[in-house]
Amino acid sequence: MKLILASSSPRRKEILEKYGYIFDIISREIDETMNLSQPAEVNVRKIALKKCEIVSTDYPEDIVLSCDTIVVLENDIFGKPKTREEAIETLTKLSGVTHEVLSGVCIKCGNTTSNFVDRCQVTFKKLSSEDIINYVDSGEPFGKAGAYAIQGDGFKLVDHYEGDINTIIGLPILKIMPLIDSLLK
């Protein structure tokens, strides 16, 4: 039995390695379209489940771990920005306010499935247009939910946060470890 990370995210890979896990990476493309008539928590949990199930079909006896992370402000869901304009718009909306980061997780091994969501609160500093444009032009916001990387220069945008920083980065390792460890025994 081996551990498989069903994600191509370098940040998730780094977190698992930091905590001493040995694993393979097997990622499949899925449709990540969200049903906006459902709560954000339901969407992020379903996407994590879909990512996990598509890989576990080929590896039913192994432990498959998947995750999906989104940023939520009121009823708006912010995934990864596709354009410079979208990144600027997202950061402008997050400026000076508290938003929620949701990481949906799925761990599947055989007939055992754990599927849950971990939440954190992040409050941004009040950002100037110049702050936002300089950050966006650094290129860091792309490929990151909410258009920022708290583990990088995006930390300078943050006033404070509540919860596990790994959840904000994209892998709630403190909640995942006991589940994986129990399956590895």
* Residue of 68, 153, 159, 164 marked catalytic: 68
- Rounded to whole angstroms, how far apart are CA atoms 21 and 171? 13
Joined tokens for residue 65: 């771990």
- Rounded to whole angstroms, how far apart are CA atoms 6 and 154? 25
DSSP-derived 3-state class of residue 155: helix
Catalytic (active site) residue 68: yes
Helices (H), 36-156: 40-56, 84-94, 129-137
- Positions of E strands within 51-137: 63-73, 76-78, 98-109, 112-124
Do residues 168 and 179 lie in contact, with contact meaning Cβ atoms separated by under 8 Å?
no
What are the backbone dihedrals phi and psi of residue 88, each rounded to the nearest 5 degrees, phi first?
-65, -45
Return the sign of the alpha-carbon dihedral for residues 20, 23, 27, 31: negative
- Paired with 98 in beta bridges are 123
Among all residues, which ones are annotated catalytic? Answer: 68
